[in-house]
Amino acid sequence: MFDRRLIHNFDWVLLGLVVIICATGIVNLYSAGYNRGEGTPLYIKQLYWLAVGLGVMCLTLTYDYRHLEKLSYPIYLISIVLLVAVMFGGKMVSGSRRWLPMGPLAFQPAELAKIGIILAMSTYFNRRARIEAMGLKDLIVPGALVMIPVALIIKQPDLGSGILVALVAGSIILFVGVRWRTLMGCGLTLVMLSPLLWHFLKDYQRQRVLTFLDPGRDPLGAGYHILQSMIAVGSGQFWGKGFLQGTQSQLYFLPEQHTDFVFSVFAEEWGFVGSAVLLLLFTALALWGLSVARDCKERFGHLLAVGVTALIFWQIFINLCMVTGFLPVVGIPLPLFSYGGSSLITTLLGVGFLLNIRMRRYLFVG
C-alpha cells in the first residue's frame, strides 16, 4: 500500500537545485559546442543522457534505500570485477583504458566504483559496533575496501578518479570518527611516502604536477590547458562577455571546454556575477545533502547521504581548483554541468539516494 508520507516528505528543494544546475549546464554546453558542426551537438547528447539519468533517479525512489544494504557488497564486488575487466578488454582512449564497450556505447567502471565504495563503507560501518573514535587497527578493513578500487583505477591510468574515490571514502571515515593520533600518523605516513608515489606516476602525470607548480614553463605545451583556462576565467571580469561571446571558447583556444574546462566557458561569458551564482547553487546543493544526512534517523542512510554529498562536493572542489590553477589538471568533471553520460548518471543516481533518504526519514522498519 502506498504511503502518502512519501510524497509529503519529498525534497522539492533538492530536486529544484539539481534541475537548475543541469539546465544551466545544457545551455553552457550549447555555447561550448557552438558552430562546431561535428555531428549531433553535444548539448543534444547531454539531453539524452539527462533523460536517462533522471529515469534512473526516479527508479531509485521506488525502492526503500534501507534494502540497499543487502546489495552493497555485491555492487562493490561487481565494480571491482569491471575494473579488472577494463584493464584487459577496455577501450583505449588517449593512452588510458577507462571504458568498457557496450555495443554503440561505452561505460566507465570507475563511475560504478564511486557508488560501490559509498555503499560498501556505509554498510560496513553500519554493521560494525560503534566506538567513540577509531584507531589504526579499526581502519584495516575499510582501508582495504578503499585501496583495492583506488589501485585498479590509478592503474588505468586515471589518477583523478582514484583520488576522488579515496577522498569520498576518507570523508565517510572522518564522519564516523578517527582518533587524532591515528589521523596525524596517517598524514605523516602519506607525506613520507610521497617520493615513492611520485615514482609510480606516469610521465604525463608528473608533467601535470610540474606544470601546476609553474604553468609558464611550457606555455605552448604542458601548460597550455591551464593558462588558456585562467585567461578565460579572468577575461570574463565582473559581468562577463555575454552568451556566445567568449573568445577563448568560440575561437577554440580553450581545450576540453565541454568536459574538464566547462566552468571556464561559463566564467568567460557570465563573469564574476554568473560564476558567483553558480557557486552558490553548488554550495546549496552540498549543504542540502548534509542536511539530508543530519535529518536521517538511522545510521546506514546517514552514512549513505554523507558519501553521496562528499562525492558531489569533492568533484566540485577539485574541478574549480583545477580550472583556476590551484590544483593540477586531473580530469575531474564538474558534476551535473560537464558533458559525459557516465558521470551524469552516477551523480543523478546519488541524488536519487538523497531524495530516497529524505522521503523515508520518518518511516521505520519494524
d(CA 315, CA 280): 15
Number of domains in the chain: 2
Q: Is 183 helix (H, G, I), strand (E, B) or coil?
A: helix
* Claim to verify: residue 21 and residue 104 sit in the same structural domain: no
Of the candidates 157, 172, 201, which is a domain's last residue? Answer: 201
Phi-psi region of 177 (alpha: psi -120 to 50; beta: other; left: phi over 0): left
210 belongs to a structural domain: no
* Claim to verify: residue 232 and residue 182 sit in the same structural domain: no
d(CA 36, CA 41): 8
Contact by Cβ (8 Å): 126, 305: no
* Claim to verify: residue 128 and residue 74 sit in the same structural domain: yes
Centre a 10 Å sphere on the Cβ of residue 143 and count the other Cβ atoms it contains. Answer: 14
d(CA 24, CA 2): 35
Residue-averaged pLDDT of the chain: 88
* Claim to verify: residue 239 and residue 359 sit in the same structural domain: yes
Residue 49 is part of which domain span?
1-62+215-303+310-366
Mean pLDDT calculated for residue range 141-145: 94
Going from the C-alpha of 137 to that of each of 133, 143, 173, 178, 181, the distances in angstroms are: 11, 10, 13, 11, 13
Closest CA to 304 of 107, 172, 203: 172
* Claim to verify: residue 48 and residue 166 sit in the same structural domain: no
Lowest mean pLDDT across 46-55, 118-127, 147-156, 209-218: 209-218
Residue-wise pLDDT for 151-207, tens only, equals 999 988 888 999 999 999 999 999 998 988 888 988 888 888 877 777 777 777 777
Residues in contact with 230: Cβ distance below 8 Å, sequence separation at least 6, in sequence order: 215, 323, 324, 325
Q: Is 132 helix (H, G, I), strand (E, B) or coil?
A: coil
pLDDT at 364: 52
Query: Residue 217 corresponds to which amino acid?
Result: R
Of the candidates 201, 234, 264, which is a domain's last residue? Answer: 201
* Claim to verify: residue 171 and residue 226 sit in the same structural domain: no
d(CA 124, CA 150): 18
- State yes or no: pLDDT of 116 exceeds 60: yes
* Claim to verify: residue 19 and residue 149 sit in the same structural domain: no
* Claim to verify: residue 44 and residue 83 sit in the same structural domain: no
d(CA 253, CA 28): 17
Residue-wise pLDDT for 219-269, tens only, equals 777 678 888 888 999 888 999 998 988 888 777 788 888 888 999 999 999
* Claim to verify: residue 15 and residue 156 sit in the same structural domain: no
Of the candidates 172, 201, 230, which is a domain's last residue? Answer: 201
Percent of the chain with pLDDT strictly greater than 90: 55
As a whole number of Å, the end-to-end CA separation of the chain is 16
d(CA 113, CA 218): 35
Mean pLDDT calculated for residue range 61-90: 92
Long-range Cβ contacts of 72-76 (<8 Å, 24+ apart)? 72/116, 72/119, 72/120, 72/122, 72/123, 73/120, 73/123, 75/112, 75/115, 75/116, 75/119, 75/120, 76/116, 76/117, 76/119, 76/120, 76/145
* Claim to verify: residue 9 and residue 78 sit in the same structural domain: no
* Claim to verify: residue 115 and residue 152 sit in the same structural domain: yes
* Claim to verify: residue 125 and residue 223 sit in the same structural domain: no
